[in-house]
Amino acid sequence: MSRYRGPKLRITRRLGTLPGLTQKQSKKSGRPGQHGKGDGDGNSKKPTEYGLRLEEKQKLKFNYGVTESQLYRYIKEARRQKGVTGLILLQLLEMRLDTLCFNLGFASTIAGARQLVNHGHITVNNNVVSIASFQCRINDIIGVKPKTNSKNLIERNLQSSTLVDLPSHLNFDKSKMEATITNYCDRNELLLNLDELLVIEYYSRR
């Protein structure tokens, strides 16, 4: 399945706030579609256990902008590592280069950060990396390509960034336009409201 490129507010109306997908808010209330109008008559169906797990999986997929096959590969990698599978899954996604650029305020969405990386504006340890899914490690240094257009683009995005606080696992030197990864992400600092255990349960039979 290819990456989703349809209307984003339709997705947030169904799944809730997804900061990595869009910062916009829909003026409409209720879920999309003719069966999503909350008219209060009690005819709305109660979600099944499978439906709840599916929605949590869809939150993860749309927020981080990964395909179904990519997400399944992250699930398998998280299972192989020692520790809590759900937390490891989130850490793997948060250590993607596009996600880190989004958390630093280089772009307003993860899709925007992915475009920055694909166009060669971002460096890791002083080497240009154009692969958005590049898995960064602790002590890696994320910087901006030493070109005027790259620096001006990132500076404009930083000025318009709506992120209030920088995650504690990132140290950002604005004068050098460089950030150092000091640790893995803190679960309590994630912007996405998610029950990762339901995602693991969704894939438990695969």
User: 176: buried, middle or exposed (CB in 10 Å: 19+, 13-18, 0-12)?
Assistant: exposed
For residues 69 and 105, state if they share a domain.
no
Judged by phi (left if over 0) then psi (alpha if -120 to 50, else beta), residue 137 lies in: beta
Provide the pLDDT for residue 57. 93
Beta strands in the chain, from DSSP E residues, in sequence order: 122-124, 127-128, 141-144, 170-173, 178-181
User: 102: buried, middle or exposed (CB in 10 Å: 19+, 13-18, 0-12)?
Assistant: buried
CATH code, domain carrying 166: 3.10.290.10
Provide the pLDDT for residue 164. 66
Pairwise pLDDT comparison (114 vs 29), residue with the higher score: 114
Rounded mean pLDDT of 59-75?
92
For residues 170 and 196, state if they share a domain.
no
For residues 140 and 196, state if they share a domain.
no
pTM tops 0.75: yes
89-130 pLDDT, tens digit per residue, is: 999 999 999 999 999 999 988 999 999 999 999 999 999 999
Q: Phi, psi at residue 18, to the nearest 5°? A: -130, 90
| Structural domain boundaries enclosing 15 | 8-36+45-92+192-202
Q: Would you place residue 191 in the very low, low, confident or very high pLDDT band (cuts 50, 70, 90)? A: confident
CATH code, domain carrying 54: 1.10.1050.10
